[in-house]
Amino acid sequence: MVNFNYDGVTKYPKLDYSDIVTTDVEKLATAYNTLKTAGAINPSMNDEQYFRTILGLPEKTDEEKEEDLASTEEDIVDADLNIASFKDAVKKSIQCQRRK
């Protein structure tokens, strides 16, 4: 193609295709789920976006992202309440043990 368009070319361009990979989505999903279940990784929005990309799924709408954020904030509040309840229970237990 170069020879048809240009005269005297001695150095030709090369096509770099090293980043082209085939992803076995089923194996990747199984490995991800195994790691998540074992507590080795914590799922993130980046993980979801990666899976959406390799599966050809559309990006989340702003409304969906806001719903996710609200749900995450609720989970954090619930976790904080559970931690506070746990701390109270530990304090009460320690106080009871000291009284004995």
**Measuring CA to CA, how many Å separate 75 from each of 35, 43, 64, 67, 69?**
21, 14, 16, 12, 10
Q: Extract the tokens encoding 79.
A: 């976790």
The tens digit of pLDDT for each residue in 64-97 reads: 888 888 887 777 777 777 777 777 778 778 877 7
pTM for the model? 0.51
d(CA 56, CA 53): 5
Q: Extract the tokens encoding 7.
A: 């005269």
Element (H, E) at 70: helix 62-99
Q: What is the pLDDT of residue 35?
A: 95
Residue 100 clears pLDDT 70, i.e. is over it = no
Q: Extract the tokens encoding 33.
A: 């789920």
Element (H, E) at 64: helix 62-99
